[in-house]
Copies of this chain bind each other. A is one copy, B any other.
Amino acid sequence: MNITLEHAEKAIVAAKQKATEIDTKMNIAVVDAGANLVAFGRMDGAWLGSLDISIKKAKTARYFDMNTGSIGELSQPGGSLYNIEHSNNGLITFPGGVPIKNANGEIIGAIGVSGSVVENDHTVAEAGASAI
């Protein structure tokens, strides 16, 4: 029930394709069911600071089995999960992290994308996750 390297690389290929389509340069990370990195690719010219963010987005999506943006809605000032970002050596809770499921709907990993506005990051992450 763990994503394979072959599938992780397939997700990265699909994500890169979508990133190019929408004219962006992305960092793309895929983690397994244990939230450990399986594959990573940084497109030429992509923001350096997005390297760590893409990995943290992938981990965050697997840590809580949901899109990172959903956590961010609850972690705002006054929200029920305010400042949850201080846990797990730093979460990233804005959009761009998406769980990856197998054909049976079981979560087998997650993908994290960073390098543009968060709407684009999410679009590219979705493209990667749905390639599997």
A: which residues have CB within 8 A of B? 1, 4-6, 8-9, 32-44, 47-53, 56, 59-60, 62-65, 72, 75-78, 80-95, 117-118
User: Which residue of B has the minimal Cβ distance to A13?
Assistant: B9
Query: A35-B48, A50-B63 known; 8 other A-B pairs, CB under 8 Å?
Result: A33-B34, A34-B34, A47-B65, A56-B87, A77-B77, A83-B94, A84-B92, A86-B92
Cα distance A51–B118 in the bound complex, in angstroms: 27
Cα distance A94–B75 in the bound complex, in angstroms: 10
Instruction: State how many copies of this chain the complex holds.
Output: 4
Report yes or no: A37 in contact with B35, Cβ–Cβ below 8 A. no
**Distance of A84 from chain B, by nearest CB (Å):** 7
